[in-house]
Chain A
Amino acid sequence: MMINILFFARLREVVGQGSIQYQPSLVKPLTVKLVLEEMKFQFIRLQDEKNIKAALNQELLSDWNTPVQDGDEIAFFPPITGG
C-alpha cells in the first residue's frame, strides 16, 4: 500500500518538502487521522501546528475518520486564505 502525501504553505515549510510517498506500517483500517498522527511522529515540528486541514483525493475532508485506500492522495495544509 502506497499513499501520496502533500504539504502546502506553512506546513510545507515546516516539513521541509512538498510531497512524500508513504508506505503505512499501521494495522488496518487506516484513516486520514491516523496518517496525520504518523506524519506528526515523522516530522516532530508538525506537532506545534494548530488547525491543520486536509483534503483526500483533492476534496476537502469533512470527516477525519474517512478510510484511506491504496493510491490515495492526501494533502495537509493550514486554513485557506485565498481570494
Chain B
Amino acid sequence: MTVIVQESDFLLQQVIEELRKNPNTGAVVSFIGYVRNFTNTSKAAEVDNESFMEIEHYPGMTEKSLMAIENQTRQKWKVSDIRIIHRYGKLEINDQIVLVAVSSEHRTEAFRACEYIIDYLKTDAPFWKKEFDGKVSHWVNLNLSDIDKKHKW
C-alpha cells in the first residue's frame, strides 16, 4: 500500500527499509509532521493529558485524494516509490501525524516530490484538526500560507 490512513502510529525506519529494497533507489527523502504544542505552556512536563488533538477525516475521499496526489506527483517527477501515511483520531502533543517518503534514483526528484506531496496534502486531503486544552476546544483554522505553498508549484 502506498497510501495509508490509520489510527495507529508508524515507524519511519520501517518505511525507509521498504523503499530501499527497490534496486533503483539512490535516495530517500522523508517528511514527518508532528502535533505542535498549542497550549500556553512551554515545558513538556506541564502539558497534561487534558491537552490533545482530534483528527477527523472523510473515509473514502481521503484515500482517493491521497492517491490522486501520488499520481500527480508521478507525472511531474521520475520517482521510484511513494509512501503516504496519515493518522486520525486522538493524538497528543509531539505525536506523529503524517509521513511522506519518496525514493528516486537521484536526490533532486525525491526532494521536490516530497515537498510537493505535503503541500498538496495540506489543502486537498480531507482532514480536520480540533485542539483540546482542558475545558476549551477549537477547530484549527485554515492557514492561508498553505494555499500559497500549493500554488507556487
- The B94-153 residues at the A interface (CB cut-off 8 A) are 97-98, 118, 121-130, 139-143, 146
Q: Is there contact, CB below 8 Å, between B124 and A81?
A: no
Nearest chain B CB to A43's CB is how many angstroms away? 17
Q: Is there contact, CB below 8 Å, between A82 and B61?
A: no
Q: Check if B9 is an interface residue, CB within 8 A of chain A.
A: no
Q: Check if B64 is an interface residue, CB within 8 A of chain A.
A: yes
Q: Is there contact, CB below 8 Å, between A58 and B58?
A: yes
Q: Tell me the complex Cα distance, A51–B141, Å.
A: 11
Please, how many residues of chain B have a CB less than 8 angstroms from a CB on the other chain? 29
Q: Is there contact, CB below 8 Å, between A82 and B142?
A: no
- The B44-103 residues at the A interface (CB cut-off 8 A) are 55-58, 60-61, 64-65, 86, 97-98
CB 8 Å contact bits of A1-23 with B (1 = contact, 0 = none): 00000101110100000000000
Q: Is there contact, CB below 8 Å, between B61 and A81?
A: no
Please, how many residues of chain A have a CB less than 8 angstroms from a CB on the other chain? 18
Q: Tell me the complex Cα distance, A78–B140, Å.
A: 10
Q: Check if B26 is an interface residue, CB within 8 A of chain A.
A: no
Nearest chain A CB to B86's CB is how many angstroms away? 7
Q: Tell me the complex Cα distance, A55–B70, Å.
A: 19
Q: Which of A55, A58, A59, A82 touches B128 (beta carbons < 8 Å)?
A: A82
Q: Tell me the complex Cα distance, A64–B127, Å.
A: 21
Q: Quick one: given A58-B58, A77-B58, are A83 and B128 in contact (CB under 8 Å)?
A: no
Q: Is there contact, CB below 8 Å, between A8 and B126?
A: yes
Nearest chain A CB to B64's CB is how many angstroms away? 5
Q: Quick one: given A82-B121, A83-B98, are A77 and B142 in contact (CB under 8 Å)?
A: no
Q: Check if A79 is an interface residue, CB within 8 A of chain B.
A: yes
Q: Is there contact, CB below 8 Å, between A79 and B142?
A: yes
Residue of A nearest to B146 (CB): A83
Q: Quick one: given A55-B126, A77-B128, A82-B98, are A8 and B58 in contact (CB under 8 Å)?
A: yes
Question: Measuring CB to CB, which residues of chain A are less than 8 angstroms from any residue of chain B?
Answer: 6, 8-10, 12, 51, 55, 58-60, 75, 77-83
Question: Measuring CB to CB, which residues of chain B are less than 8 angstroms from any residue of chain A?
Answer: 33, 55-58, 60-61, 64-65, 86, 97-98, 118, 121-130, 139-143, 146
